[in-house]
Amino acid sequence: MRAFSYERASSIEAAVTVAASNPDAKFIAGGTNLLDLMKLEIEAPTHLIDVNGLGLDRIEPTSEGGLRIGSLVRNTDLAADETVRRDYGLLSRALVAGASGQLRNKATTAGNLLQRTRCPYFYDPNQPCNKRQPGSGCSAIGGYTRQHAVVGTSDDCIATHPSDMAIAMRALDATIETVAADGRHRSIAIAEFHRLPGDTPHIDTVLQQGEFITAIVLPPPIGGKHIYRKVRDRASYAFALISIGAVIQPDGTGRIAVGGVAHKPWRVEGAEALLSNGARETARGILADARPTEQNRFKIDLVERTLGAVLAEARG
């Protein structure tokens, strides 16, 4: 790990001002992903800004009937919150499916959204990786690709987004609230927050330098049956081969977001109109533009079968 300086931010304004003036600065809260990347020198910030003392750890109702989740709310607290469990059960289930209890105790809501891919080539500094070192090439393309993306890929990157929580947030149409050093506030729909790799896979989100997440806002509850199903190689502490976050209404309509298949939480609203036709047609609509490899082609069938299980569970 390289040497770095450290400070505890006294206010949001102070934190974003420092971060905007130093391109090598990073915010740190739980640090469950950042510290691992620093140890491997994949991330090498020269300055860390500790934001834990900024009071952004509350879960509060909004005037519209939704829920505002502070960016520093810990995953454990969010999953256990009474309102979340009652009205946004998909989110609670997705959180519990991720990581371990110890990590959930430290990991924050914003940090979960911002975590980086677990592609093994990204984590190996000896291998070329466009996400780690732009322009160096992608070792996954032509390499071992069982865990990799099948849709939304590019010729520069086929990595997947690792978050379980983000899949639920995508199905629930969350909005991310941010503030920049000039005082500008933004509300970013989660559908637009994460980027596809294109020719700049090292840029994961639409955040600008120094822009800071203050909260994630959920719209009013939509009811229905909330289901999160995660398929992985072992029963715990493993990232998804594929996952499905679903909210299914009594009339059979619903929302479907898929994890483990793309560089971002994957949802195709147009395909949701096919739910009444069954899992096969819906899955085909969700993955219409898939470009699998021989090693991960099984994910196409796995999405269909898992979606079938989700719809069967929703029907009781």
Determine the pLDDT at residue 91: 98
Torsion, CA 127, CA 196, CA 212, CA 98, rounded to 10? -70
Q: Tens of pLDDT along 74-88? A: 999 999 999 999 999
What percentage of residues in the chain have a pLDDT greater than 90?
97
What percentage of residues in the chain have a pLDDT greater than 70?
100
Q: Tens of pLDDT along 163-221? A: 999 999 999 999 999 999 999 999 999 999 999 999 999 999 999 999 999 999 999 99
Determine the pLDDT at residue 236: 83
Q: Tens of pLDDT along 287-297? A: 999 999 999 99
Tokens 């493993």 appear where? 238
Determine the pLDDT at residue 167: 98
7 bridge partner residues:
49
Determine the pLDDT at residue 178: 98
Determine the pLDDT at residue 189: 98
Element (H, E) at 114: helix 109-114
Q: How many CB atoms sit inside 10 A of residue 137's CB?
A: 14
Interval 40-66 mean pLDDT: 97
Determine the pLDDT at residue 213: 98
pTM (two decimals): 0.96
Q: Tens of pLDDT along 275-285? A: 999 999 999 99
Q: What is the DSSP code (8-state) at residue 108?
A: B
Task: Give me the chain's average pLDDT, please.
Answer: 97
Determine the pLDDT at residue 235: 86
Determine the pLDDT at residue 209: 93
Tokens 């020269």 appear where? 46
